[in-house]
Structure 1
Amino acid sequence: MIGDIHQRVTHSSVASLAFFSHSAYVASFEPRDVSHALSDSNWVNSIHELENFERNHVWDLLEPPPNCRPIGTKWDEDGMVVRNKVRLVAQGFCQKDGIDYEETFAPQIDVKSAFLNGFIEEEVYVRQTTGFESARFPDRVYKLRKALYGLKQAPRAWYARLKSFLLKSGFVMGSVDKTLFLLSRGCDTLIVQIYVDDIIFGGSSHVLVSSFAEQMSREFEMSPMDELQFFLGLQIKQGPEGTFVHQAKYTRDILKKFDMGDSKPMTTPMSTNTALNTNEDGEAVDQKEFRGMIGSLLYLTATRPDIQFAVCLCARYQASPRTSHRQAVKRIFRYLKFTPELGLWYSSGSSLSPSGFSDADHAGCRIDRKSIFGTSQLLGTSLIFWSSRKQGGVAFSTTEAEYIAAASCCSQLLWMKATLSDFGLRFGKIPLLVDSTSAISVAKNPVLHFRTKHIDVRFHFLRDHYEKGDIDLVHVVSTNQLADIFTKLLEFGAFVRLRGELGVTGWRCVDNALIKGEIESQWTGLIALRWTGGPPMDRR
């Protein structure tokens, strides 16, 4: 039964998602340790917000039981002092599997104040906060009733609490995506997607949406943030004609971060003459900086499929980056300088018919001769999923490379089909467009099966799902293969054409559509909910 508290003093001008409500206490210095912080009344006033833990029954002060080994505490701080804030963080790395926690899985990633609202089943003890020990019982320890930041079971505890509340409220959880919840009331539907303490939702009835917002605010003290405009780093513009998702601000930020703001713009992310290899004789560059550039670009691919292939190509050389690799990455930044405001356009007039494209470049990797394959999955004209990656093994032929690529695309289409069924959408055969007639023949014609014994059995589920009628393999000419942009470097004309067909455009191009008229939409705009600081009502 091991527990530990890690106190973190943070300061930011942005409202925190902390468990307790905040007041602004501005200090004149950065504390170097706990004693230094306690010498300033502003930091002390901020720290006293910890009393909310007792008021809201987060823990109980008890005599330490036998075998209890609570660990010490420390302070941490960074950044510019604008507001003094305190957060208690459990050092979960000290927990032992099977003793301090049983399961840790939760379909969330970000870890913030929402975790303080999940009840835990295991016995976890934490030492009293340094400088704020009980005068009467200085040797006692806290037994946690609710999760703290850093506990390994905290994500699961929070998810269980929120899921229980939504299910009791009449929602149905998605059969595939466990963070998706749906509520039906007659002909109206409300859709809720959760990501830790960030929740987005929309529905076909303004009344249903307003009712849900009020219900969540009462239970968890969350407040609506009007229509969704910013979510998980993505900027979102909504209008009657569609929705535009982009990362223009993030793009400008990373250009500035890596001193590329004044660089010469380029019209494509990588030249067709680029031929990267390990270049072991080349001059080594700062690995930390190179990896930072790659990581920043990978996050940008969430709305920029046009740089997916180039970024993934450069990412293969992170172990030992050379000057040539850094120059290739800088070329991508120069392209972003030319196209900072590009993003994905989702038209409200698009159909909801799913389709997929798959393509492969046989032996495309110059180092190990493995094939590069790309896939894209769409709903009507709206791009939903895309990928660019290197195949795990060396393909003996173009047919094999294309067949494996199609199998990967088929897997994603089946996931889409299952997810869409939660929305009440049913589909028969989903078209999968491949530009290799031989790969299609292998899947369709049993006579050719004897030629595919060398292909891993796991990829033959493509054939099975074709025979079941889940997908329909359709030939597409290479010039219309949308996934081609994810497999190789293209000339400017072909690159721009495919980029546009994937729905990548600039917000200025769609701005008129977004503000055109006051057209009443069938669905209300997406709304965002965010934690405001107060605890939920305790209805355990």
Structure 2
Amino acid sequence: MHEELATEILLGSLPPPYRMIGDIHQRVTRSSVAFLAFFSHSAYVATFEPRNVSHALSDSNWVNAMHEELGNFERNHAWDLVEPPPNCRPIGTKWVFKNKQGENGMVVRNKARLIAQDFCQKEGIDYEKTFAPIARLEAIRILLQTEEMDVKSAFLNGFIEEEVYVRQPPSFESARFPDQAYKLRKALYGLKQAPRAWYARLKSFLLKSGFVMGSVDKTLFLLSRGGDTLRVQIYVDDIIFGGSSHVWVSSFAEQMSREFEMSLMGVFQFFLGLQIKPGPEGIFVHQAKYTRDILKKFEMGDSKPMTTPMSTNTALDADEDGEAVDQKEFRGMIGSLLYLTATRPDIQFAVCLCARYQASPRTSHRQAVKRIFRYLKFTPELGLWYSSGSSLSLRGFSDADHAGCRIDHKSTSGTCQLLGTSLVSWSSRKQASVSLSTIEAEYIVAASCCSQLLWMKSTLSDFGLRFGKIPLLVDSTSAISVAKNPVLHSRTKHIDVRFHFLRDYYKKGDIDLIHVVSANQLADIFTKPLEFDAFTRLRGWRCVDNALIKGEIESQWTGLIALLV
């Protein structure tokens, strides 16, 4: 039974391939419709982003966007124009202009945002506490509901306790009272306490409406009556919700619209830059548009494709004798790639390795980053596939590369956690201390994976899911023995005591440590560069009926990551 469990590589089957339309007339017609739609739409929005306020005032669309923003302030009674008290220096305000794009890259809205210049705020005077919880990406992947709401000027709904004055908006000063300032009743974008004020307001409303906050995730709210359940996840001003009853979902949308000014976006398709394609067989999550954008941004669109993100011969170090490169550009490339790892676990290790050299990047480091972009050129459409027919079993994989860093000889930890056939969490990071043995390195990463599994277990308990022993698959029999057998204490004196909680949870029955052969260790992809065959097998192939034990791999693009056909 354990061998069967250890050899499942999970992510279900691929969505059916899209049919190719071969008829030329149909394609021309579709192109013409898209062409006309683009120009009819462009008549209502500006396609450029203003450099400053003067530039924005030259276009009627941006003027309307600024008036819309100021109208939100008036409707929400966010401020009062008053004479500021003596010795008061009002906080400055600034216009920020941004074009909102749809999934196809077309500009769908001109957004003008008036923000406060928070660097002028003084702690204890202009603000006190600022912390506000925010949903983790793992929580978003676990939920993945089909409805989304966006709160218009969400922070204007949050009440602030401090007495704060801001200057009048640039180019929109009062002709009668140009020297007066606005006294804020509610939070303004840019204020340090704005996210906290908005979260407090929304939390209070949901709790009064009968919702219960998640025991672990404070951005998760649940409402259960009879056999129906409604779940709400908050990510700043974006709200994801779904439930077992369509009536409940519709009622909640209406209730929120009455309390706040909302935009109901409908089917959950584009969220935080993630493209989400729901279907009857499952959900496909990817960042194909973002991938194309960053390839174009860094002029890698015409580069030669590569089949892996990093060569097995690559051994990065400080390279102090190498030629220095533009630090700003290098950091920009790393930042763009780190955001892409939200749906691309296959580049996680390579990106995190290159990110270690942002302080003093050299030519060798830049070449390694370019290799990742060339790999993205080869696989721009990869993403995560969540099958609707997946079981709800929870399990994790952990692996370590002992002394993998050439600079300080610290080990690299790699973990991944799966819910049924869905890869919902993964990590690749350098360990905090030098491991004196392979056993210690494997034991440390297993403890890290255990803590993540326990968090997921607690979070899923709010959904009514209960788990017994959670399988944690490790390819080191010695590390498993250390956790199971207290007699081996004499051999583990050098291991930090804080990692021994793994043994405690094994004894409690929360975690079941299971050995998996190294060839089947899914977390291996997060610890080191791999050859093409091993890399593609762990990235995209799946086993059926213990095929990995028999050595029979089925060639299909499923597994840790899927391909949009």
Q: Normalising by structure 2, report the TM-score.
A: 0.80
Is this contact kept in 2: 1:108–1:155, CA < 8 A? no
Q: Which residue of 2 aligns with 1:180?
A: 220
**1:58 equivalent in alignment to 2:74:** no
**1:252 equivalent in alignment to 2:292:** yes
**1:105 equivalent in alignment to 2:162:** no
Question: Is the partner of 2:221 in helix, strand or coil?
Answer: strand
Specify which of 195, 207, 211 is matched with residue 251 of structure 2. 211
Greater alpha carbon shift after TM alignment, 382-391 vs 70-79: 70-79
Q: CA deviation at 1:237?
A: 0.9
Is this contact kept in 1: 2:96–2:112, CA < 8 A? no
Q: Deviations along 1:14-70, whole A, 9 cap, x unmatched?
A: xxxxxxxxx969799967666x87798887666555355345311123332344221
Specify which of 261, 275, 287 is matched with residue 221 of structure 1. 261
Change (3 A) 1:132 1:342: closer
- Residue identity opposite 1:404 in structure 2: I
Is this contact kept in 1: 2:95–2:112, CA < 8 A? no
Change (3 A) 1:139 1:206: same
Greater alpha carbon shift after TM alignment, 352-361 vs 202-211: 202-211
Is this contact kept in 2: 1:362–1:401, CA < 8 A? yes
Question: Is the partner of 1:272 in helix, strand or coil?
Answer: coil
Q: Deviations along 1:110-147, whole A, 9 cap, x unmatched?
A: 99821111111111112334554445544433211111
Paired residues for 1:453-464 under 5 Å = 453-464=493-504
Q: Deviations along 1:413-457, whole A, 9 cap, x unmatched?
A: 110011011111111211111111111111111111122221111
**1:117 equivalent in alignment to 2:157:** yes
Paired residues for 1:14-53 under 5 Å = 47-49=66-68, 50=70, 52-53=72-73
Give the Cα–Cα distance (whole angstroms) in 2 for the partners of residues 104 and 252 of structure 1: 36
- Residue identity opposite 2:489 in structure 1: H
- Residue identity opposite 2:79 in structure 1: W
Q: Which residue of 1 aligns with 2:233?
A: 193
Greater alpha carbon shift after TM alignment, 279-288 vs 73-82: 73-82
Give the Cα–Cα distance (whole angstroms) in 2 for the partners of residues 484 and 82 of structure 1: 42
Question: Is the partner of 1:181 in helix, strand or coil?
Answer: strand
- Residue identity opposite 1:335 in structure 2: Y
Question: Is the partner of 2:369 in helix, strand or coil?
Answer: helix
Q: Which residue of 1 aligns with 2:5?
A: none
Q: Which residue of 2 aligns with 1:70?
A: 90
Q: CA deviation at 1:267?
A: 1.2
Give the Cα–Cα distance (whole angstroms) in 2 for the partners of residues 376 and 43 of structure 1: 45
Q: CA deviation at 1:85?
A: 5.9
Q: CA deviation at 1:341?
A: 0.6
Q: Which residue of 2 aligns with 1:20?
A: none
- Residue identity opposite 2:115 in structure 1: V
Paired residues for 1:278-357 under 5 Å = 278-357=318-397
Change (3 A) 1:214 1:448: same
Greater alpha carbon shift after TM alignment, 174-183 vs 129-138: 129-138
Is this contact kept in 2: 1:63–1:140, CA < 8 A? yes
Change (3 A) 1:111 1:436: farther
Give the Cα–Cα distance (whole angstroms) in 1 for the partners of residues 417 and 155 of structure 2: 34
Is this contact kept in 2: 1:301–1:307, CA < 8 A? yes
Query: Which consecutive unaligned segments of at least 5 residues does structure 1 have?
Result: 1-12, 14-22, 509-540
- Residue identity opposite 1:447 in structure 2: V
- Residue identity opposite 2:78 in structure 1: V
Give the Cα–Cα distance (whole angstroms) in 2 for the partners of residues 282 and 219 of structure 1: 59
Is this contact kept in 2: 1:111–1:196, CA < 8 A? no
Give the Cα–Cα distance (whole angstroms) in 2 for the partners of residues 442 and 83 of structure 1: 58
Is this contact kept in 2: 1:381–1:503, CA < 8 A? no
Q: CA deviation at 1:226?
A: 2.1
Q: CA deviation at 1:179?
A: 1.1
Is this contact kept in 1: 2:93–2:117, CA < 8 A? no
- Residue identity opposite 1:154 in structure 2: A
Q: CA deviation at 1:491?
A: 1.3
Change (3 A) 1:126 1:342: same
Is this contact kept in 1: 2:94–2:116, CA < 8 A? no
Specify which of 413, 422, 444 is matched with residue 484 of structure 2. 444
Change (3 A) 1:76 1:352: closer
**1:505 equivalent in alignment to 2:562:** yes
Q: Which residue of 2 aligns with 1:517?
A: none
Give the Cα–Cα distance (whole angstroms) in 2 for the partners of residues 140 and 294 of structure 1: 45
- Residue identity opposite 2:89 in structure 1: R
- Residue identity opposite 2:201 in structure 1: R
Give the Cα–Cα distance (whole angstroms) in 2 for the partners of residues 191 and 102 of structure 1: 31
- Residue identity opposite 1:319 in structure 2: A
Greater alpha carbon shift after TM alignment, 334-343 vs 318-327: 318-327
Is this contact kept in 2: 1:343–1:506, CA < 8 A? yes
Is this contact kept in 2: 1:174–1:180, CA < 8 A? yes
Q: Which residue of 1 aligns with 2:140?
A: none
Question: Is the partner of 2:386 in helix, strand or coil?
Answer: strand
Specify which of 74, 80, 88 is matched with residue 114 of structure 2. 88
Greater alpha carbon shift after TM alignment, 62-71 vs 127-136: 127-136
Give the Cα–Cα distance (whole angstroms) in 2 for the partners of residues 349 and 174 of structure 1: 26
Is this contact kept in 1: 2:76–2:157, CA < 8 A? no
Q: Which residue of 2 aligns with 1:413?
A: 453
Is this contact kept in 1: 2:133–2:219, CA < 8 A? yes
Q: CA deviation at 1:478?
A: 0.9
Is this contact kept in 2: 1:346–1:503, CA < 8 A? no
Q: Deviations along 1:300-354, whole A, 9 cap, x unmatched?
A: 1111111111111111111222222111111111111111111111111111111
Is this contact kept in 1: 2:322–2:363, CA < 8 A? yes
- Residue identity opposite 1:426 in structure 2: R
Give the Cα–Cα distance (whole angstroms) in 2 for the partners of residues 381 and 245 of structure 1: 14
Change (3 A) 1:491 1:160: same
- Residue identity opposite 1:101 in structure 2: Y
Q: Which residue of 1 aligns with 2:474?
A: 434
Is this contact kept in 2: 1:25–1:42, CA < 8 A? yes
Give the Cα–Cα distance (whole angstroms) in 2 for the partners of residues 29 and 320 of structure 1: 33
Question: Is the partner of 1:177 in helix, strand or coil?
Answer: coil
Change (3 A) 1:114 1:79: closer
Give the Cα–Cα distance (whole angstroms) in 2 for the partners of residues 498 and 74 of structure 1: 49
Give the Cα–Cα distance (whole angstroms) in 1 for the partners of residues 108 and 239 of structure 2: 27
Q: CA deviation at 1:84?
A: 7.1
Equivalent residues, number: 486
Give the Cα–Cα distance (whole angstroms) in 2 for the partners of residues 344 and 42 of structure 1: 38
Change (3 A) 1:72 1:93: closer
Q: CA deviation at 1:506?
A: 0.6
